[in-house]
Structure 1
Amino acid sequence: MMPTAMNLPAGISQDSLLEALRPLCWGAADILRAYARGEQPPHGFSRALSVDHGGEGPVSAADLAVNQWLLEGLHAAFPDAGWTLLSEETAKEQLTEGEPLPAEWLWILDPLDGTKDFLQGTGEYAVHLALVQGQRPVLGVVLLPEADELWFGLVGDGSWCENRTGQRGPVRFSDRNAEGELIMVASRSHRDNRLERLIAALPLAGSKAVGSVGCKVATILRGETDLYISLSGKSAPKDWDMAAPEAVLLAAGGAFTHADGRPLSYNTGDVRQAGCLIASHGKAHAALEKRAAEVMQTIDPGFQV
């Protein structure tokens, strides 16, 4: 069966949307790469890389510049679009705890996922854009500036990677699917004893530490790893951390769920994506869910996966 065109707000075509997103994303890459190298950013942004270490994590001038670039760019490209724009940097002003935004169509943006990695110079940072209808993503974009990779995912219609010239490359999931073969990608900065115990209890061939969630999911899409687990503790990832990577992975045929099989939901009135979340190439996903849920009942009885 041929894939059908994705559902979009009235008056917006898939082609026009993708054509608008490409220059916006590569412009964001240019801004971030300039800041990362101590160079003058394009598009008139200040060269000073100031950093605010308050709140839940650092916010740099690079976060704010890309946030402005993306929001203004989407407004300019689609001034009459029937959607709402939400980003990590505007959430405090836009959101009221316990109340979803009154929007059928919602963009959820993270202008710089992996700010700590960006500031530390690991190169493992990303830009996330996700278009959500209701509480589920229909489109995801994950930009990896240092790798010159722009991942698109149209849920129900496939995923692919583009470089700056527009050349496309396919998703390349690994063939690993048996116990003892799988390779896990885990967080470098958000780890605790429970996660270490969970990793040790799973039938894995190995694991590697990577920064941004977008970078982690890209390793699955390239076939370098097979699964990623997020385990919330004192803090939890937010909607803008997960929506775009989930969309790209789902569109590729992978899976991203809670350990009890529940799907992730967005714009619920609570932006936290708490619990034990599993992303994978999908080939052994049900077995991973079952094993992780069982292990968590031993490690942390009563934990809501």
Structure 2
Amino acid sequence: MRSPRAPSPCRGSTPCSRATGTPALAATRAPAPGGLAHPGDTLVQRLAAELDAELVPMGSAGFKAAAVVRGEADAYVHTGGQYEWDSAAPVAVARAAGLFASRVDGRPLEYNNANPYLPDLVVCNPLIADELLGRVASILEEDAR
């Protein structure tokens, strides 16, 4: 099992996957011209701005979670909805690698439900989980006002 990365000088005790010290968030690939982005993309863009993070466009949920496992991204935050089968295996691999995974509000991810829709998830290095969830909560609270 892989242990969390050591603290990085780029953010005090917050690790960064980039040699430049800029945190990286796995993000949905840009939509085709005239296409629609996922509804959660706005939250991820705002989170990246708050964290001064780079959005790294990639494909599937599994590929994004694997990027966090490999250390190519610090977090994968998804709020556009998906089904349990989209994230069950990637989350299991991430957890086996020692990473943090939950709903964006910090509640546990639950699988094998009658309704397989899963509205959101976070996969990240456990050293940044509290900060990441706090920032997401602030953005969601701001949106609720």
TM-score bracket for this pair, using the shorter chain length? 0.7 to 0.9
Kindly indicate whether the alpha-carbon contact (under 8 Å) linking 1:184 and 1:226 is maintained by their aligned counterparts in 2.
yes
State the identity as a percent. Answer: 30
Kindly indicate whether the alpha-carbon contact (under 8 Å) linking 1:259 and 1:290 is maintained by their aligned counterparts in 2.
no
Matches within 5 A, 1:173-252: 174-175=5-6, 176=8, 177=14, 181-188=22-29, 189=31, 190-192=37-39, 194-195=42-43, 197-232=45-80, 236-252=81-97
Distance 1:222 1:173 in 2: 11
**SS of residue matched to 1:261:** coil
CA shift, 1:205, in A, is 3.1
The 1:217/1:196 distance shift into structure 2, 3 A limit, reads closer
- Which of structures 1 and 2 has the bigger CA Rg? 1
Amino acid across the alignment from 2:102: T
Matches within 5 A, 1:52-63: none
Kindly indicate whether the alpha-carbon contact (under 8 Å) linking 1:238 and 1:272 is maintained by their aligned counterparts in 2.
yes
CA shift, 1:181, in A, is 3.9
Select which of 281, 286, 295 maps to 2:130: 286
Structure 2: runs of 5 or more not aligned: 9-13, 32-36
**SS of residue matched to 1:278:** strand
Distance 2:42 2:124 in 1: 20
Moved over 6 A (4+): none
Report 1 or 2 for greater relative contact order, CA contacts < 8 Å, sequence distance ≥ 6.
2
Kindly indicate whether the alpha-carbon contact (under 8 Å) linking 1:173 and 1:226 is maintained by their aligned counterparts in 2.
no
Kindly indicate whether the alpha-carbon contact (under 8 Å) linking 2:67 and 2:73 is maintained by their aligned counterparts in 1.
yes
- The count of residues paired between Structure 1 and Structure 2 equals 128
Distance 2:44 2:99 in 1: 24
**SS of residue matched to 2:102:** strand
- Deviation string 1:37-90 (CA, Å, 9 cap, x unpaired) is xxxxxxxxxxxxxxxxxxxxxxxxxxxxxxxxxxxxxxxxxxxxxxxxxxxxxx
**SS of residue matched to 1:246:** helix
Distance 1:197 1:211 in 2: 17
Q: Considering fraction of residues, name the structure with more helix.
A: 2
Return the TM-score normalized by structure 2.
0.75
- Deviation string 1:222-241 (CA, Å, 9 cap, x unpaired) is 11111011012xxx210000
Distance 1:200 1:208 in 2: 10
The equivalent residue for 2:11 is: none
The 1:199/1:191 distance shift into structure 2, 3 A limit, reads farther
Matches within 5 A, 1:93-242: 158=1, 171=2, 174-175=5-6, 176=8, 177=14, 181-188=22-29, 189=31, 190-192=37-39, 194-195=42-43, 197-232=45-80, 236-242=81-87
Return the TM-score normalized by structure 1.
0.38
Structure 1: runs of 5 or more not aligned: 1-157, 159-170
Amino acid across the alignment from 1:186: A
